[in-house]
Amino acid sequence: MTVHILMHAGKHITKKLEPETIISSLEQGGSIASSLEHFEPRQSQLDLMRLVIRAFNEDSLAAAEAGTGVGKSFAYLLPAMCFALLNKERVVISTATITLQQQLYEKDIPLVASALPSILASLSGSGSAAITKQFKAVLVKGRGNYVCKRRLEEALKDPPHLFPSDNNELENLNAIHVWVEKAETGSKSELNFVPQESLWSRICSEVDLCMGSRCNCRETCFVMTLRRDAADADILVVNHHLLFADLAARSDSAGYESTVVLPPYTRIIIDEAHNIEEAATSFFSDEFSRIGVFRNLSRLYRKKRRGTARSGLLIRLEALLGSSIVSENRIADSIENIRKAMDDLDEAAVELCFHDGVFRLTHIKDEIINSRIKTNFIFVRKNINIFTSLVNEMLEQIPEEKSSPGVKISDTSNSIESLVWEIKSIIRYFENIANLCSSFMEYKENPDKVFWIEKNTGHQQGSAWARFSQTPLDIAHDLKESLFDVFKTVVCVSATLTIGQGQDSFNFWKNRSGLGLVEKKQALTGVFPSPFPYDTSVLLGVPMDAPLPTEPGYSTFVDSACTDLIEIAGGSSLVLFTSYTSLKSAYETAKPRLKEIGIPVFKQGDDDRSRLLKTFLEDSSSVLFATDSFWEGVDAPGDTLRLVILARLPFKTPNDPVFEARCEKLEQEGFNSFMDFSLPEAVMRFRQGFGRLMRRSSDRGMVVVLDSRLLKKSYGRIFLDSLPKTRSCFNELKNLLRNAEDFLY
């Protein structure tokens, strides 16, 4: 996206933004306001923009809570885009979801860009020489979203029997081959079908597999083109994962001046900042499972159980070399040994997870760890080390003249160098697993990490498998050092950053995200309330006769209350749970009755998340039962959503190993883990769930919380006080149902 801007070149000093000039474009009759179809002046939006302008002008950090409907994207885009152009400083805008990334890139940025020439003309003054500058924004997704032409060509050379025949992988591969010729960005989202995960993982770009300047496809490579494009962009729209990948590499050793994952930048806007801790935790975690190990072994070498057919990268390499480098017996034995060791480790791990589905490695379980699993880690590591040495030994046999850079045999895709590159990246994967095994064995020496195992259930009965994860206990210090201490301006925005009211309301989020640890500069904060009429359009209901979640009868109460409430609302409902078991129970109770009256009912797991949401949005009377990720990011305006049921207050379960470890750490530091962590975290999530109902100012509906702790426990007040003022009905269920009928119709 490019827009020509006439600018004035002056001395290279930071040019400040004039608040009133910028703000006036979003006031009635202003250049942006008049381009918006349903523009409504919003004081909160202008106030938020004023805070963002201050953060840019004063090189400050800022945290802003902007309620639904404030129009936060325009409030930060305008200052960010003006500042980037005026000062030739690149600004990164990071979001948690691809939906927001696309909305910014496809709708909001072009709209602001069209108004930039007139705004900048008034901002830049008349004393300097005029220059023409192009405004440029680039959307950068993670590498895995883009097809890698080299890997695609290699996959096309694979024999057909390597593609499962039951799920059209080969057909889809051929369709991707055709699409690549005319694809604009090479991003998976450009395809008009969703490729199988197993297929996409074979052909997408991966950092370890990318040959960069040595790749024969580099000239037309989508990732390389994107990198070149990003190099002169004023605004980069990225996701949190990509931002953390860039920050991690920069703080490791790459520094802040050169291109790493992203080209250098000086200022950052983080939208959807409420889950920055979760996003960073996921980025800095490491995991493995037998499924990944087996898949990578097969990529290197596989032999049919019956017959002599062999395939894999090592066999292809051998064929290209025209000489034997693979010692069949040794490699087959070595692979078999890893498989056996990994199977044993997996079996022992699944057994350890028998009770709770998870097992955390802690001092008090030392005896169990030593007697039941430690030896398995040792065997996996030992066999992996033997295997990687063996493969390295084979690679060393390649004559130097054939393996030296630039030597290609017959065609690009099957070049020896390309295959060696790919094999080496798989070796690195195995070396990483061997290191993870060591870390698990020496978990006591890594107190800043949580080591845990989770049991997953496969599709076939009895096919449970274990995932081994290593997660950082605390990311606040890392974020402080690599983000808040370094960049001139970091503005964090979200609809939910505060707990309660007043000066301290940002403290919880600031401390978890690392912003609270910054000493060098003060962070600006501001709360910008939603302009929506919650007080007249939303009824908050809590049935006072609901048993407490710990009391008998709670589950039965929830199951039947969900059905009654949905029936009264005529569908158009989102029912949010904290556990899949409760979800299933309520879904199975409600489905027959709702089906009878023609209300379609869906549940999480019926389809992938985006398709499920699309189906839910398309039929305005439908009902969706969901957990986890659906507490946020569901945007169902109008009649599609008239009732949100929150089955339970969203406290994390105590058997979540990372949560448990973080609570213990806080207790050791003298904090109260319930009041200082568990409760505020649940309040943030509760506010996200509540926020699903009203997406437009004309929306009207009910939020019903089937957890009477909201009224019976003293901490319930903290949840209630964190919501905007609504109408309320705290009464027995039968009266609540009557009230619901009166309110909704």
Residue 2 beta carbon to ligand SF4: minimum distance, rounded to whole angstroms: 24
Q: What angle do CA 527, 528, 530 make, to 5 degrees?
A: 130
Contact pattern from residue 256 through residue 295 relative to ligand SF4, giving x for each residue in contact according to CB under 6 A and a dash for the rest: ----------------------------------------
Pick 9 or 207: Cβ nearer ligand SF4: 207
Pick 52 or 211: Cβ nearer ligand SF4: 211
Applying CB under 6 A, among 41, 212, 458, 592 the residue interacting with ligand SF4 is 212
Residue 144 beta carbon to ligand SF4: minimum distance, rounded to whole angstroms: 11
Residue 148 beta carbon to ligand SF4: minimum distance, rounded to whole angstroms: 3
Applying CB under 6 A, among 24, 68, 205, 673 the residue interacting with ligand SF4 is 205
Q: Which residues, other chains included, contact 704 with Cβ-Cβ below 8 Å and sequence gap of 6+?
A: 540, 541, 542, 543, 561, 565, 643, 644, 645, 646, 736, 740
C-alpha to C-alpha distance for 449 and 165, rounded to whole angstroms: 42
Contact pattern from residue 446 through residue 485 relative to ligand SF4, giving x for each residue in contact according to CB under 6 A and a dash for the rest: ----------------------------------------
3-state secondary structure of 538: strand
Applying CB under 6 A, among 215, 247, 313, 394 the residue interacting with ligand SF4 is 215
Residue 418 beta carbon to ligand SF4: minimum distance, rounded to whole angstroms: 8
Report 573-632 residues binding ligand SF4 (CB under 6 A): none
Pick 147 or 491: Cβ nearer ligand SF4: 147
> Which of 509, 506, 548 is closest to 716 using CA atoms?
548
How many H helices and E strands in the chain? 30, 21
CB 50 within 8 A of CB 23: yes
Q: Tokens in use for 159?
A: 């024999």
Pick 3 or 221: Cβ nearer ligand SF4: 221
Applying CB under 6 A, among 218, 374, 609, 700 the residue interacting with ligand SF4 is 218
C-alpha to C-alpha distance for 350 and 454, rounded to whole angstroms: 8
C-alpha to C-alpha distance for 449 and 549, rounded to whole angstroms: 32
How many residues bind ligand SF4 (CB under 6 A)? The answer is 13
Q: Which residues, other chains included, contact 454 with Cβ-Cβ below 8 Å and sequence gap of 6+?
A: 353, 357, 358, 466, 467, 469
Residue 237 beta carbon to ligand SF4: minimum distance, rounded to whole angstroms: 21
Pick 214 or 696: Cβ nearer ligand SF4: 214
Pairing mode, if any, of strands 235-239 and 573-576? unpaired
Residue 291 beta carbon to ligand SF4: minimum distance, rounded to whole angstroms: 25
Pick 149 or 250: Cβ nearer ligand SF4: 149
Pick 145 or 275: Cβ nearer ligand SF4: 145
C-alpha to C-alpha distance for 17 and 5, rounded to whole angstroms: 17
Residue 150 beta carbon to ligand SF4: minimum distance, rounded to whole angstroms: 4
Q: Where does 409-499 have alpha helices with state H? A: 416-441, 476-479
Report 362-401 residues binding ligand SF4 (CB under 6 A): none
Pick 86 or 226: Cβ nearer ligand SF4: 226
Strand order in the sheet with 449-456: 286-289, 465-472, 449-456, 358-360
C-beta neighbour count of 115 within 10 angstroms: 20
Report 26-45 residues binding ligand SF4 (CB under 6 A): none
Dump strand ranges (E) for 327-373.
358-360
Q: Which stretch binds ligand SF4 (CB under 6 A): 48-56, 124-132, 191-199, 217-225?
A: 217-225
Residue 314 beta carbon to ligand SF4: minimum distance, rounded to whole angstroms: 20
3-state secondary structure of 7: strand
3-state secondary structure of 41: coil
Residue 223 beta carbon to ligand SF4: minimum distance, rounded to whole angstroms: 4
3-state secondary structure of 182: helix
Residue 257 beta carbon to ligand SF4: minimum distance, rounded to whole angstroms: 24
Residue 190 beta carbon to ligand SF4: minimum distance, rounded to whole angstroms: 16
Instruction: Return phi, psi of residue 102, to 5°.
Output: -70, -40
Pick 148 or 574: Cβ nearer ligand SF4: 148
Dihedral over Cα of 337, 338, 339, 342: its sign: positive
CB 265 within 8 A of CB 92: yes
Q: Look up residue 646 and give its amino acid.
A: L
> Which of 323, 467, 346 is closest to 399 using CA atoms?
323
| Residues written for the chain | 745
Residue 233 beta carbon to ligand SF4: minimum distance, rounded to whole angstroms: 19
> Which of 635, 652, 655 is closest to 686 using CA atoms?
652
Residue 151 beta carbon to ligand SF4: minimum distance, rounded to whole angstroms: 6
Pick 221 or 423: Cβ nearer ligand SF4: 221
C-alpha to C-alpha distance for 325 and 393, rounded to whole angstroms: 9
> Which of 48, 53, 45 is closest to 119 using CA atoms?
53
Contact pattern from residue 219 through residue 238 relative to ligand SF4, giving x for each residue in contact according to CB under 6 A and a dash for the rest: --x-xx--------------
Residue 160 beta carbon to ligand SF4: minimum distance, rounded to whole angstroms: 23
Pick 219 or 445: Cβ nearer ligand SF4: 219
Pick 146 or 508: Cβ nearer ligand SF4: 146
Q: Which stretch binds ligand SF4 (CB under 6 A): 10-18, 209-217, 249-257, 512-520?
A: 209-217
Instruction: Return phi, psi of residue 227, to 5°.
Output: -65, -40
Applying CB under 6 A, among 48, 210, 349, 733 the residue interacting with ligand SF4 is 210
Q: Which stretch binds ligand SF4 (CB under 6 A): 206-214, 276-284, 364-372, 393-401?
A: 206-214
Residue 227 beta carbon to ligand SF4: minimum distance, rounded to whole angstroms: 10
If binding is defined by CB under 6 A, does position 176 make contact with ligand SF4? Answer: no
Report 114-153 residues binding ligand SF4 (CB under 6 A): 148-150
Instruction: Return phi, psi of residue 100, to 5°.
Output: -70, -40
Pick 149 or 692: Cβ nearer ligand SF4: 149
Pick 150 or 455: Cβ nearer ligand SF4: 150
Q: Which residues, other chains included, contact 297 with Cβ-Cβ below 8 Å and sequence gap of 6+?
A: 335, 338, 339
Residue 323 beta carbon to ligand SF4: minimum distance, rounded to whole angstroms: 26
Applying CB under 6 A, among 46, 96, 217, 226 the residue interacting with ligand SF4 is 217
Pick 202 or 685: Cβ nearer ligand SF4: 202
C-alpha to C-alpha distance for 739 and 729, rounded to whole angstroms: 7
CA distances from 703 to 574, 576, 686, 717, 737 (A): 10, 11, 11, 16, 12
CB 140 within 8 A of CB 230: yes
C-alpha to C-alpha distance for 679 and 649, rounded to whole angstroms: 10
Pick 85 or 221: Cβ nearer ligand SF4: 221
Residue 186 beta carbon to ligand SF4: minimum distance, rounded to whole angstroms: 9
Pick 231 or 597: Cβ nearer ligand SF4: 231
Contacts to ligand SF4 by CB under 6 A: 148-150, 205, 210-212, 215, 217-218, 221, 223-224
